[in-house]
């Protein structure tokens, strides 16, 4: 069998076992659920489905809560209590095993009516 024919057969087998659609792209997304009457929110990078994905898996998540600090975790969820009523920017950076670092931000709003915010009051948004 020729070398070229063997190469074509191997590539065909590779795509049959690992179809292109199954290879995820490096993405970051999350939703927040803020408990009504408190300043506590839970953020989940597995929501909305399919949530944050990395081609070769996720090594770590970095959650930044405005200028209030950053936290690294290997879990896709984190709970955070904000210090006061205000508008805060929450940023998620996903560290992928392949070196990619997709990032996304959402605002969390307490006491303000701002479009596109995650509001205190329950329910997963945005």
Share of the chain above pLDDT 70, in %: 70
Q: Please name the residue that has the structure tokens 């904000």.
A: 82
For a pLDDT cut of 90, what percent of the chain falls above it?
Answer: 42
Q: What is the pLDDT of residues 11-22, one digit of tens each?
A: 333 333 333 334
- Distance separating alpha carbons of residues 112 and 36, to the nearest angstrom: 14
Position 38 scores a pLDDT of: 82
Of 100, 106, 15, nearest to 63 by C-alpha is 106
Look up the CATH number of domain 23-119.
Answer: 2.60.40.10
Q: What pTM, to 2 d.p., does this model score?
A: 0.74
Q: Where are the domains of the chain?
A: 23-119
pLDDT averaged over the chain? Answer: 77
Q: What is the pLDDT, as a whole number, of residue 81?
A: 92
What's the token pair of residue 67?
């200028």
Tokens 């809560």 -> residue: 65
pLDDT, greater one: 88 or 117: 88
More confident residue, 122 or 50: 50
> How confident is the model over 56-115, as pLDDT tens digits?
899 999 999 988 889 999 999 999 999 988 888 999 999 999 999 999 998 888 766 666
């Amino acid at each position: 069998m020729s070398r070229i024919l063997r190469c074509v057969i191997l590539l065909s087998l590779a795509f049959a076992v690992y179809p292109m659609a199954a290879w995820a792209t490096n993405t970051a997304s999350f939703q927040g659920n803020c408990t009504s009457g408190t300043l506590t929110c839970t953020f989940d990078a597995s929501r909305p489905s399919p949530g944050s994905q990395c081609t070769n898996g996720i090594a770590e998540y970095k959650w930044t809560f405005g200028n209030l600090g950053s936290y690294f975790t290997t879990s896709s969820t984190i709970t955070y209590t904000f210090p006061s009523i205000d508008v805060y920017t929450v940023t998620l950076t996903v560290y992928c095993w392949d070196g990619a670092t997709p990032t996304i931000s959402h605002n969390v709003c307490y006491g303000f009516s701002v479009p596109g915010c995650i509001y205190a009051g329950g329910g997963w948004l945005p």
